[in-house]
Amino acid sequence: MNALSNPLLVLIFAAGAAATWIAGVFLSRATDALDERWKLGEAFGGMILLAISGSLPELAITVSAALAHRLDIAAGNLLGGIAIQTAVLVICDYFVTEKKPLSYLVGSLIPVLEASLVVGVTALAMLGALLPPTTVVFGVSPASIAIVIVWLFGMLVINRVRTAPKWEIVMPGSRPGRPHRRVPHPVVVHPYAKLVTGRIVAIFVAGSAVTLGAGVALMQSGAQLANNYGIGGVIFGATVLSIASALPEIATGITAARLGDNQLVMGDIFGGNAFQVCLFLLADVLAGKATLAAAGAQNSWLAGLGILVTMVYATSVIVRPEKNHWRVGIDSIIVLVLIVIGMVGLGRIPG
C-alpha cells in the first residue's frame, strides 16, 4: 500500500472499520444462536471456540502485523485494546434501561473473577516485556506461554464456579439478566430463532471471513497511514486501531444493556480482554521472535492502564455505587478520566 494516497488509505481504513462493525454484529448473533443450539459453552473446547470467535478482529490484526513484522502495532493493539474495550462499558452504562449504574445491576461476582483473569494475564505481559529478546523457549517468549496456561486455568476455574458455585450472594436491587446466551430471553426473540442451523453456520462462516479480511485491511492501511503521518505504531495500535476493532463490542454491548443482560455486558468485555492477550503467543510464532520483548515502555504503560480501568469496574461490582451522574455511574466517569489521562501520558513516553 506504499503507493496509495492518504485519502485512499483513509477510505480503505474506514471501509474496514465499517465491515468489522457490520460483520461483527452478524457474527455475534450467529455465535449466540449456535451456542444456544449446540451448548458450546458447556464444554471447555466450546468455551475456547467462543473466545476465539469473539476476538476475530484482534486475531486478524495480530496475524497481519506479525507477518509484516510490525510488532509495535501488534503489541499496541493487544495491550491498548484492553483499556479501550474496557471503556466500552462506559457506553454500555449509558444505555442501561434501569436508573442505576451498570455495576450496581450486575448482581454477580463472576465478572470479578473474569476481571481478575484479565489482571493476571496482563501482569504476565508486563513481566514478559522486561525479558531480554534472547530469552525464548521453542522460539517464543516464555511469558507468552505462561499467559496461555494461566488463561486456560482461569477459564477452568471460572467455568467450575459458574456451574457449581461454593457460595451464595445477595445483592438487593440487582438485575443481572441472563447468566449466558443459551437461556432464551424472556421477552425478545433471537433474530435467528427461526433459521435452520445450516443457514446460521453459513452466516457464521461469512461473518468470520469478512471480519478477518477487514482486520487485515485495517492493519495494512493503518500501518501505512501511521508511517505517512509520523504516528508511532504503538500509539496508533492502541488508539485508532483498537477503537476500530472494538466496534462490534460496542454494538453487541449496547444491545445487551438494552435487553437487561447486565452481567453478560461486563462478562463479554472482560472475557474478550483476557483472551486477546493470549494472541501474543501466535504473534511470536508468526514473527519468529518474542513480541513482548519488543513491546517497550509504551506498551508497559498501556498494560498498566488496562489493569487500572479493569480494577475500577471489578471493585464497583462489589461496592455497587447507586447514583448515576449524566446517566452513568461514578466508576464509568473515573474510567473515562483515566483513559484520557492514560492516552495523554502515552504520548509523553518515548517510543
* Structure confidence by residue, pLDDT tens digits, 11-63: 999 999 999 999 999 999 999 999 888 888 877 777 888 888 889 999 999 99
Cell numbers representing residue 159 in the block: 467455568
**Locate cell 480494577: which residue?**
311
3-class SS at 310? helix
169 vs 207, higher pLDDT: 207
**Locate cell 488509505: which residue?**
9
Q: What's the chain's average pLDDT?
A: 91
Q: Name the H helices within 130-196.
A: 142-163
For residue 270, give the H/E element and its range.
Answer: helix 262-277
Report for 75-84, 219-228, 313-322: range of highest mean pLDDT? 313-322
3-class SS at 328? strand
Following CA atoms 330, 332, 334, 340 in sequence, which dihedral angle do they give, to the nearest 10 degrees? -150
pLDDT for 351: 65
3-class SS at 29? helix
Kindly state the percentage of the chain with pLDDT values over 70: 99
- Alpha carbons 216 and 28: distance in angstroms, whole number: 19
pLDDT for 208: 95
Q: Is 70 exceeded by the pLDDT of residue 187?
A: yes
pLDDT for 122: 97
Query: Around Cβ 3, how many Cβ atoms within 10 Å?
Result: 6
* Structure confidence by residue, pLDDT tens digits, 137-165: 988 999 999 999 999 999 999 989 988 88
- Alpha carbons 148 and 11: distance in angstroms, whole number: 36
